[in-house]
Structures are given as C-alpha cells and as structure tokens.
Amino acid sequence: MIVQQEVSVSRRLDNRSVKIAGAAILGAMAFLLQLFVKFPFPLLPWLVFDFSEIPTVVAFLLFGPAWGFLSSTILWLIMVIRGSSFPPGPYMKLAAIVAMQVGMWLGFILAKKMGFGTSKTFASGIAMGLVLRVLLMTPINYVVVGVLFASDFYYNTASKALKVAGITLASQGQFITLMLVFSGVYNALHVILSVVPTIAIAKINPIIRQSWFMQKVKS
C-alpha cells in the first residue's frame, strides 16, 4: 500500500500542471512570508532576514530547478507590482535566490558525480549555493550601495550599528570594505536560514521522498 501511494505521489509530482500550480502557490506563499516574517541583520540594518526563500527552495527541491526559478520569479513579480521603497530590492532578492539555487544545482551535480549519498549531496548543494550567492551578491552590493545609491543614510546607519558592536568607522573606504564583508556574512547566513528548515519539512512530509531532489540522488 505504501509503495502504491508513493508511486501515485511520484506521478502527480511529474504532472506539469501540478508543477505550475505548486510553483505558483509557493511563490505567493514566499511573498506573504517576506511581507510579515522578517528581522534586520544587526550589523547592517537595511539588510533583512526573512523566510520568503524557504518556499522557493521547497519548489526547487520538490519539482526541480526550473520550477524553483519560476517560484522565485513569481515572488519577484509580486514584489515589483507591489512596489518597494528601495527600487533595486526585488531585483537583488531575485539575483540572490537564483544564485543560491544555481549553486545548489551545481553542488548536486558534482556530488552525484562523486557518488555521494543523500546527506553529503544536500550538504554539497548548500555549500555551493552559499559560495555562488556570496560571490554574486558582493559585487552587486558594491555597485548598488557603494556607487549607485551611495548616501549618508547607509554610512550613518552602519556607523551606529557597528559602534554598538565596538567597531568605529574611520572613513568611507572602511565603510565600503566592512559593508562588503558583512553583506557576505549576511548572504551566507541567509542561505542557511533558507535551506536548512527544508530538512525539517522533509522529515514530516513523505511527499519529499518522491521529490526531484530524491530522484536525482537515487538515479
């Protein structure tokens, strides 16, 4: 009976309509989480942790990369339509999520070639997602915060936050350096925040056993 149920689940997950609907629902769920569940990164308060990326990662693991990207795009589109006090925000969010998911995908492929099991494959995906996200978002943060939107607001906000942590900014150059370092830390932590909870979801949801990720590991 259990085997028959899992086969039935697997067939449903392979259905294109189910994938489209699932990605759309998870994208909308991501927006709601982004809207209501968030908290600032203490060292650079304009950077905000939120749980919106968890549904996009679930879509990625459940249906595959294309559907994870679709879910992320839906989140981005809703953010753009709703509007943002910081115009580049939705685009930076999309870039961060896509970089993370591409890195995870590459990590899975590499782990598969090396014959890793499920746990090591998942860990490899997290590691590659973290690295690629930090590598992409560091120059983007430099261009956006350090060049295009360079203003006293970011310098003063960072100065107050870092002073609480015992760090005093001596110059604009030091601000740029520390901003890039801490934005890298922020993006690394956000990958962990976004991906690790899916482990708990997988443990309580038997559908995950028939997910794209599990089939990728088994094949």
DSSP conformational letter for 44: S
Lowest mean pLDDT among 16-20, 97-101, 192-196: 16-20
pTM summary value = 0.87
Place 56 in a pLDDT band, splitting at 50, 70 and 90.
very high
Question: Is 50 exceeded by the pLDDT of residue 82?
Answer: yes
Percentage of the chain exceeding pLDDT 70 = 88
Which tokens sit at 33? 């989480």
How many Cβ atoms from other residues are within 10 Å of residue 195's Cβ? 22
Within 13 Å and on the Cβ side, how many CA atoms surround 80?
Answer: 11
Does domain 2-218 correspond to CATH entry 1.10.1760.20?
yes
As beta bridge partners, residue 40 has 48
H or E, element range at 55: helix 53-63
154 Cβ neighbours under 8 A, 6+ residues apart: 46, 145, 175, 179
Place 169 in a pLDDT band, splitting at 50, 70 and 90.
confident
Per the prediction, the chain carries an average pLDDT of 86
Q: When comparing pLDDT for 15 and 143, which is higher?
A: 143
Could you read off the pLDDT of 7-38 as tens digits, one per residue? 445 555 567 788 889 899 999 999 999 888 88
pLDDT at 2: 38
- Tell which residue, 69, 39, 44, has the closest CA to residue 57: 69
H or E, element range at 50: strand 48-50
- Tell which residue, 42, 82, 76, has the closest CA to residue 56: 76
pLDDT at 197: 86
The C-alpha atoms of residue 184 and residue 138 are separated, in whole angstroms, by 6
